[in-house]
Chains A and B, each alone.
Chain A
Amino acid sequence: MTATTSDILGIRRPDAAGGPAATDRVPAARLIRVEIRKLVDTRAGAWLLVLIAVVTAAAVIVSLFTTDASGLTFEHFVDVTVFPQSVLLPLLGIMAVTTEWTQRTTLVTHTLEPARRRVVAAKFAATAVLWFLAVVLAYAVAAVANILGAALRHGDGSWAYGTVGLRDTALLQLLSLVHGLAFGMLLMNTAAAIVLYFTAPGAVHLLFSTVGSLKGSAAWFDLGASQAPLTDHSIAGIGWLQLLTTTVLWLLLPLAAGMVRLLRREIK
């Protein structure tokens, strides 16, 4: 300890030397850097990121050779990246908040930063950085594919792209990431969160698409149905309200419940 403090008699107090009050808290930027590193420094985390990159590229390449030449536009290629990414980004969200519980490294994480809110905020920020990179990657791969499409297959090659496309793409990926975070927060267990993530929305979808009397209201409760107009860039009016409703039900409620659980639970 280099910092020293003295009491009024000028006697150095060992406990006060560079004591708790003399130290700064761990800056948020540092917590976020640590959380990003935790996402990439294990085999599971690194492979997931590689998988996101590879699958994004693969989807675009497949589309490059299977879509009609007239349909080969920048916007088309961007849309092609949405589905594979929205399957994998939630896994990133789940793992970001569950791995530490499953491996019990929360013991270390929360003794180094006792403010649980700050740790969670850092985890969210860390996944947001990777979400941003995933979206950037989607656009970069789509741009390359569009050039190749025009050159190799005499594709349309149109670069026309509106803010609507950007908004819908970024929002869809963000929603799927937050969905993963929410289920991860709620269950705090990697396997359970992944299973529930892939089965629960499907079960609700099945319910609303088979029970006749429910069909009309599907878009208010079925996550996929409410997000469909976002996928084909046709969302408007009541569609936004339906999207908001399913987002509250499927994302924000589990997230809030998970947050309450985190703040109260015992860390063992």
Chain B
Amino acid sequence: MILVDQLTKRYGRYTAVDSVSFSVRPGTVTGFLGPNGAGKSTTMRMLVGLTPPSSGSCTVLGVPYAHLRNPGRHVGVLLDASAQHPGRTGREVLSLGAMTIGLPRSRVDEMLDRVGLTADEAGRRVGNYSLGMRQRLGIAHALLGDPEVLILDEPANGLDPGGIHWMRGLLRRFADRGGSVLLSSHLLHEVEVIADELVIIGGGRIVAQGAKTEMLAGAGTIVRTPDVGVLAGALATTGLEHTTRSDGSLFVDASAEHIGRAAAAAGAVLTELRPAGGAGLEEMFLQLTAGAREEVPA
């Protein structure tokens, strides 16, 4: 369980995180989405007590993170897979974690096995690891203490498609057993498949949040017509805004019926009219985050 309430971080006059509130319930995966620099990492660092918030509060398992005794037993954290001493082997990194948390040495081998790092790879220095291997090592580290909560910042970065598929399965099973997962990404499609809940942040502010299914359902309509000018005029007179997609179709934040009526009244021929679904969410993601970014004072 994670609760974030009115969390704010200011650096001088710049507000990196602005009154962010959301929760992550047990049994769910929450995708924390936003472009680079939107405030995702700052929020996550405040969540685990590394960055003091300017105002607001956040709790993990009902208490501020810093009040957790032996947090490694309860919360698995991966903030930056590259933040490892390049001279240590993967096995050594996990051994240090296991020692701190107070786990038997056998746990290290279990976790290496779980994330698919071979004994040979585990014996190599982290400096020689690919980013994907570092992510696997970081996920192994987060899972060491058999936590109830996972907080992962951009864990899919550097993973190959197979690796991303593997991670999705792992997080799904973790949530299905009652765990709470918060994972961030700057790529919508990376979390769209796995997340139950989405929190979209741009320019430090939450621009949309809710259950993924609801957000997908209410995410507008794709319409295609040879008479673009006619339809665009008809939409404008009914007060509907549209955006032109890269494939020439239009995205409209309205129901198919609304658009159909407008097109019929204007006599525009439609060759396609369907719920936008994932594409709509992507459109919204791009719009919202772009909009939010422009509002950020330089």
Using CB atoms and an 8 Å cutoff, list the residues of chain A in contact with chain B.
1, 14-15, 18-21, 23-26, 30-31, 33-34, 37-38, 41-44, 99, 103-105, 107-108, 110-115, 264, 266-268
- Residues in B neighbouring A18, C-beta threshold 8 A: 73
Q: Is the CB of B50 within 8 A of A19?
A: no
- Residues in A neighbouring B141, C-beta threshold 8 A: 108
Q: Tell whether B1 is near chain A: CB-to-CB under 8 Å.
A: yes
Q: Is the CB of A41 within 8 A of B88?
A: yes
Q: Tell whether B109 is near chain A: CB-to-CB under 8 Å.
A: no
In the bound complex, CA of A41 to CA of B96 (Å): 10
Q: Is the CB of B92 within 8 A of A26?
A: no
Given A114-B49, A266-B50, also A34-B77 (CB < 8 A): no
Nearest residue in A to B138 (C-beta to C-beta)? A108
In the bound complex, CA of A129 to CA of B293 (Å): 52
Q: Is the CB of B97 within 8 A of A19?
A: no
Could you say which of A15, A20, A110 has the most chain B C-beta atoms within 10 Å of its C-beta?
A: A20
Nearest residue in A to B52 (C-beta to C-beta)? A266
- The segment from B61-69, B242-250, B272-280 that touches chain A is B61-69
Contact of B73 among A15, A23, A44, A266 (CB under 8 A): A23
In the bound complex, CA of A254 to CA of B131 (Å): 38
Q: Is the CB of A20 within 8 A of B68?
A: yes
In the bound complex, CA of A105 to CA of B134 (Å): 13
Contact of B87 among A30, A42, A115 (CB under 8 A): A42
In the bound complex, CA of A89 to CA of B188 (Å): 51
In the bound complex, CA of A1 to CA of B147 (Å): 9
Q: Is the CB of B71 within 8 A of A111?
A: yes
Given A20-B63, A30-B102, also A25-B69 (CB < 8 A): yes
Q: Is the CB of B97 within 8 A of A112?
A: yes
In the bound complex, CA of A24 to CA of B100 (Å): 12
- Residues in B neighbouring A31, C-beta threshold 8 A: 100
Nearest residue in A to B84 (C-beta to C-beta)? A105
Q: Tell whether B85 is near chain A: CB-to-CB under 8 Å.
A: yes
CB under 8 Å from chain A, chain B span 2-37: 26
Q: Tell whether B83 is near chain A: CB-to-CB under 8 Å.
A: yes
Given A23-B74, A107-B79, A114-B71, also A42-B66 (CB < 8 A): no
Shortest Cβ distance from residue B133 to the other chain A in the assembled complex, whole angstroms: 17
Number of A-B contacts (CB under 8 A): 111
Nearest residue in B to A102 (C-beta to C-beta)? B85
Q: Is the CB of B83 within 8 A of A107?
A: yes
In the bound complex, CA of A23 to CA of B72 (Å): 11
Q: Is the CB of A115 within 8 A of B66?
A: yes
Q: Is the CB of B26 within 8 A of A30?
A: no
Using CB atoms and an 8 Å cutoff, list the residues of chain B in contact with chain A.
1, 26, 45, 48-52, 61-63, 65-75, 77, 79-80, 82-88, 92, 96-97, 99-102, 141, 146, 148, 178
In the bound complex, CA of A56 to CA of B284 (Å): 67
In the bound complex, CA of A43 to CA of B49 (Å): 31
In the bound complex, CA of A264 to CA of B49 (Å): 11
17 contacts between A and B (CB under 8 A): A14-B26, A23-B73, A25-B69, A31-B100, A38-B96, A41-B92, A41-B96, A42-B88, A103-B83, A107-B50, A107-B79, A108-B97, A111-B71, A112-B72, A115-B66, A266-B45, A268-B50
Q: Is the CB of B52 within 8 A of A264?
A: yes
Q: Is the CB of B67 within 8 A of A34?
A: no
Nearest residue in B to A14 (C-beta to C-beta)? B178
Nearest first, the 4 A-B pairs at minimum CB distance are: A104-B83, A267-B50, A114-B66, A42-B87
Shortest Cβ distance from residue B104 to the other chain A in the assembled complex, whole angstroms: 13
Contact of B62 among A15, A107, A266 (CB under 8 A): A15
- Residues in A neighbouring B82, C-beta threshold 8 A: 104
Besides the contacts A15-B26, A20-B69, A108-B141, what 6 more A-B pairs have beta carbons closer than 8 Å? A15-B148, A107-B83, A108-B97, A111-B71, A112-B100, A114-B49
- Residues in A neighbouring B75, C-beta threshold 8 A: 111
Shortest Cβ distance from residue B205 to the other chain A in the assembled complex, whole angstroms: 20
- Residues in A neighbouring B72, C-beta threshold 8 A: 111-112
Contact of B70 among A25, A33, A99, A108 (CB under 8 A): A25
- Residues in B neighbouring A37, C-beta threshold 8 A: 96, 99
- Residues in A neighbouring B71, C-beta threshold 8 A: 111-114
Shortest Cβ distance from residue B135 to the other chain A in the assembled complex, whole angstroms: 14
Nearest residue in A to B89 (C-beta to C-beta)? A41
In the bound complex, CA of A41 to CA of B148 (Å): 30
Given A41-B88, A107-B80, also A34-B99 (CB < 8 A): yes
In the bound complex, CA of A169 to CA of B181 (Å): 55
Q: Is the CB of A105 within 8 A of B87?
A: no
Given A14-B26, A103-B84, A108-B83, also A20-B96 (CB < 8 A): no
Contact of A20 among B51, B62, B92 (CB under 8 A): B62
Q: Is the CB of B99 within 8 A of A30?
A: yes
Q: Is the CB of B87 within 8 A of A43?
A: yes
